[in-house]
Structure 1
């Protein structure tokens, strides 16, 4: 234990002695942190396996590290602020897009909607209903035309029958009239003969 304490004291004394022997740092260190670190290591001396570093160089490196950290923190804060603003902008744009999509959907629904007799239909349903009505009316018209044609044909047939019967009746009437006249003439002849016979008998 005593040997360990003596060894630590010896190292401290050697370090103090070495620091008192380090001259003032006149060399200019590179600008980057890595370059300053490597420069500091290259300028340090090794005694008994320990690196003796110039306190001025170490302080300069620490100051540069702190400045770099502060700059990075400021840049990070600025980036976070910008990111927050961009997120707000994105949220606002999403809201506008959502509103636009809703408006577009409403407009498309209105364009795709037809109002008839106070009832709203989509264009597809309206087209189906209209074409169904057209087909039904066309079928009804075809049935009416066919029935009308049938009735017209029946009427023409009955009219021709009536004409035929009328002609037959007229022919019969004429024949009957002729027969009646003939019979009347014959009857008159017979009467005349009878009158002549009566006159002769007197």
Structure 2
């Protein structure tokens, strides 16, 4: 009976070790397939056998880990290359956008300058300068108008005075002519009288 018990224990122990080994193998495949690299290293270190001061690791685990590390490095390299390419593309786009922005800013400056200025005879003036120029021209024209109005009134007054004097002179001349004609007629009469006297 004792022997059967020992045999039963030995068989149970063997099955449990075998089941445990299968579980470890299944676990190993699962851990080495899906887990992060750090967890894979931890799994191998934890589940490897010890020999003195060393760890004895299954060759297929190490090979699987090596392939996983190589795949991870390749994936990181590929991702890095993709990111570098993205960064280069984005840098090109940024440079293009900077150029476009500079062009747009220049157009805005030109439009603001054009909006704040007025063209007169092909020359651009700021609105303030244009207003000062226009008010200056209006002031000069107003002064010239006042000056010419004054000169016209003065000339008109002088002309009226000259016409009045001319009319007076014409009157005086007419009277003088009449008197001169009368005198001439008197002198002719006297002369005729004298001639008539001398004939008689």
TM norm structure 1: 0.54
Determine whether 1:147 maps to 2:130: no
67, 83, 87: which one aligns with 1:101: 87
Equivalent residue, structure 2, for 1:170: 156
1:99 is paired with a residue whose SS is helix
Determine whether 1:189 maps to 2:169: no
Distance 1:198 1:122, change over 3 A: closer
1:122 is paired with a residue whose SS is helix
Distance 1:126 1:199 in 2: 101
User: Residues 82-106 of structure 1: CA distance to partner in whole angstroms, max 9, x if unpaired?
Assistant: 1211110111111111101110111
1:112 is paired with a residue whose SS is helix
Determine whether 1:111 maps to 2:90: no
1:32-111 counterparts in 2 under 5 A? 32=17, 72-111=58-97
Distance 2:110 2:17 in 1: 83
Determine whether 1:126 maps to 2:112: no
2:69 is paired with a residue whose SS is helix
Structure 2: gaps (5+ residues):
21-48, 51-55, 119-124, 191-200
Aligned residues, how many? 140
Moved more, 131-140 or 88-97: 131-140
- Shift of the alpha carbon at 1:136? 7.9
Distance 2:95 2:144 in 1: 61
Structure 1: gaps (5+ residues):
1-22, 36-64, 115-120
Distance 1:198 1:127 in 2: 97
User: Residues 145-199 of structure 1: CA distance to partner in whole angstroms, max 9, x if unpaired?
Assistant: 3123212211222123212312321232132112201211122213323443554
- Shift of the alpha carbon at 1:200? 4.6
Equivalent residue, structure 1, for 2:11: 28
Equivalent residue, structure 1, for 2:53: none
Moved more, 137-146 or 179-188: 137-146
Looking at secondary structure, tell me which structure has more helix per residue: 2
Distance 1:123 1:172, change over 3 A: same
Distance 1:199 1:123, change over 3 A: closer
Distance 1:165 1:191 in 2: 37
- Shift of the alpha carbon at 1:132? 7.7
Moved more, 186-195 or 154-163: 186-195
Distance 1:185 1:127 in 2: 81
Moved more, 98-107 or 138-147: 138-147
Moved more, 126-135 or 156-165: 126-135
